[in-house]
Amino acid sequence: MSLLVVGSMAFDSVKTPFGEREGAIGGSATYFSVSASYFTEVRLVAIVGSDFPQSELDFLAERSVDLAGLERSEGETFKWKGEYGFDLNTARTLDTQLNVFQDFRPQVPDAFSESEYVFLANIDPELQASVVEQVKSPRLVACDTMNFWIEGKRDELVKTFGMVDMVVINEGEVRELAGESNVLKASRKIIEMGPSTLVVKQGEYGALLIQEDSVFSAPGLLLEDIYDPTGAGDTFAGGFMGYLSSEEDMSDASLRRAVIFGSVMASFNVESFSYDRLRVLTQTEIETRYRQFSDLASFDRI
């Protein structure tokens, strides 16, 4: 029951039709860790600059996120700037400043090298691969990415996908990477690259769990108040992997529950900027929303 994540920690500047926030705490590994911490302890491998607030690191530590793999460098933290139109499913990247990521070589501490569950959050695919090589015999390695890497480092990304069991990725990215508009055909092309399981995130419409001979479709919750979708994918992945590693059960039923827990966590995250909503979430709220998902998609078999 040990979950390791490598990914970005960031300052995000985000504009949505409902408001904007400059320099909010973000990053794929940050969102993932906070979300997964509701299910299990998390081991974080990432880098921040000297400008990253100590209070945020204290918050993560309080939530049982082990920071032994966090490097603190002299430079500036990674920065991402993006905006959303009324279609909140697709972010438009306006600026990416890698900063301390430029020279980052992730070091998995000895104490983390036997982690059983590994999540390679959105980060340079070469760095993702180097982390897989440092973990001894994981039960499950899952991986995310984004268009920035599909377009900039395609070959390296395909190589990383060849090293993982599962890919958790947006529908648009599945199409772009596979060069195929039909999601099922595109997913099969990605499965041919190596992973046996694909989780396709469909924004507000839900998520698909695709294996060679099966498909499970989870609905999206029809939320009335969505402020900022940033981090929804990473928060989904945190709930998904956090649940799987806490259960130590990789059966089909458990994978399906994990998809719903991922959807539950993402549905909370979009209700505020940064991960403000996740700071104050309770177990009862998580369980109540899980039941809402179950009610939303339940119907009789005839």
Binding-site ranges for ligand AMP (CB under 6 A): 8, 10, 12, 26-28, 80, 96, 122-123, 146, 148, 230-234
Q: Please identify, using beta-carbon distances, which residue of 260 and 265 lies nearer to ligand AMP.
A: 265
- Are the CB atoms for 69 and 43 separated by under 8 Å? yes
Q: Please identify, using beta-carbon distances, which residue of 2 and 275 lies nearer to ligand AMP.
A: 275
| Least distance to ligand AMP, CB of residue 298, Å | 28
Distances (CA, A) of 163 to 166, 205, 253, 287: 9, 29, 25, 34
Chain residue whose CB lies nearest ligand AMP: 26
| Least distance to ligand AMP, CB of residue 45, Å | 14
| Least distance to ligand AMP, CB of residue 244, Å | 18
Q: Please identify, using beta-carbon distances, which residue of 151 and 248 lies nearer to ligand AMP.
A: 151
| Least distance to ligand AMP, CB of residue 153, Å | 10
24 strand-pairing partners: 12
**Residue 111 CB contacts under 8 Å (≥ 6 apart), including other chains:** 68
Give the rounded distance of the alpha carbon of 63 from its chain centre. Answer: 18
| Least distance to ligand AMP, CB of residue 276, Å | 13
The two structure tokens encoding residue 55:
């209070």
Q: Please identify, using beta-carbon distances, which residue of 237 and 255 lies nearer to ligand AMP.
A: 237
